[in-house]
A and B are shown apart, each in its own frame.
Chain A
Amino acid sequence: MAGTDQLSAVFAALADPTRRTILAQLAEREATVTELTAPLPISMPAVSRHLKVLERAALISRTRSGKWRGSRLEGAPLREAADWIEHYRRFWDTSLTRLDAHLAALQAAEKEL
């Protein structure tokens, strides 16, 4: 069972745009650091540091076969994070849209007085 610490690590990991790009690449397929670095404007050591953060969040695992060291996306923590984000983002989005209409109606009513 994943605890709060792990889920916090997931959110922290997802907060960075470079790491989201890396995750999107890994959603396609497993990849090496070299492959992941190619489309990015940053160095291989920088990509390695991002991979460490993703690994700590258990969003990826590292694989090894011979000299080839790959990274692959792990689904479970991502799914918990996704469920939570989706649920609350939707709740606030709906509520605040209704609130906007409510405030507009209030102000329109005040003007008529």
Chain B
Amino acid sequence: MEEEAPQLSVTRVFDAPRDLVYRAFTDPDQLGSWWGPIGHSLPRDEIEFDVRPGGYQRWTEVYAGEPGGRVYGRIDLSDVVDGQLLAGVLSVTGRLPGGFEPFETRLRIEFHDEPGGRTRLEIRQWLPPGLAAPSDAGWSEAFSKLDRVLAAARAAATDHRPTKD
């Protein structure tokens, strides 16, 4: 299958066995302990997981600083390999912080063994098809962001192990 390169990739190694890391993503009792920024909570009774190919993961995010700000997250899982892979489409709806529009994005999360009982997590995310916003460019704003884009791109490049690039 021809696969478009992901627009965002994040790699991180955890000092924990692979199953433990996988469970942190797939156990509804654990997601709320770490998902999203601090000051942001996930009501346990609104977390519902059915982790299997064709299943889903569903949750609500509540922002402390924004009363009434509720964000509904859902991953429709297309591929699941127990302990190794979660892939599907993440959709986020509701009142998003930062003025972002609701969106859908393809997401792939891989769990790999690393020496010493550690785990390498690889997250790939593709562009939301509906993202594009009209913009008649403030040049100066674009310039101020260029540095950050370049820094992010450089960080992405160093994230990658040499064999991958």
Interface residues, chain A, with chain B CB atoms under 8 Å away = 1-4, 6-8, 11-12, 14-15, 17, 20, 23-24, 27, 73-76, 78-89, 91-96, 98-104, 106-107
- Would B38 and A94 count as touching, CB distance under 8 A? yes
Binds A, one of B51-59, B62-70, B77-85, B133-141: B133-141
Interface residues contributed by chain B, number (CB under 8 Å): 50
Contact of B36 among A82, A87, A94, A102 (CB under 8 A): A94
Closest 7 A/B residue pairs (Cβ): A75-B142, A98-B34, A76-B137, A75-B137, A82-B145, A103-B16, A11-B7
A1–B132 CA distance with the chains assembled, in angstroms: 7
- Would A76 and B148 count as touching, CB distance under 8 A? no
Taken residue by residue from 1 to 43, chain B's Cβ proximity to chain A (1 for < 8 Å, 0 otherwise) reads as 0001101101010111000110010000010011111100000
- Would B132 and A92 count as touching, CB distance under 8 A? no
Secondary structure call for the A interface? helix
Interface residues, chain B, with chain A CB atoms under 8 Å away = 4-5, 7-8, 10, 12, 14-16, 20-21, 24, 30, 33-38, 98, 100, 121, 123, 125, 127-129, 131-139, 141-143, 145-150, 152-155, 157
Contacts of B146 in A (CB 8 A): 23-24, 27, 73, 78, 82
CB distance from B93 to the nearest CB of A (A): 16
Whether A87 touches B98, Cβ cut-off 8 Å, given contacts A8-B7, A102-B24, is yes
Contacts of A99 in B (CB 8 A): 14, 21, 24, 34
CB distance from A96 to the nearest CB of B (A): 5
- Would B153 and A14 count as touching, CB distance under 8 A? yes
A79–B148 CA distance with the chains assembled, in angstroms: 10
A96–B123 CA distance with the chains assembled, in angstroms: 11
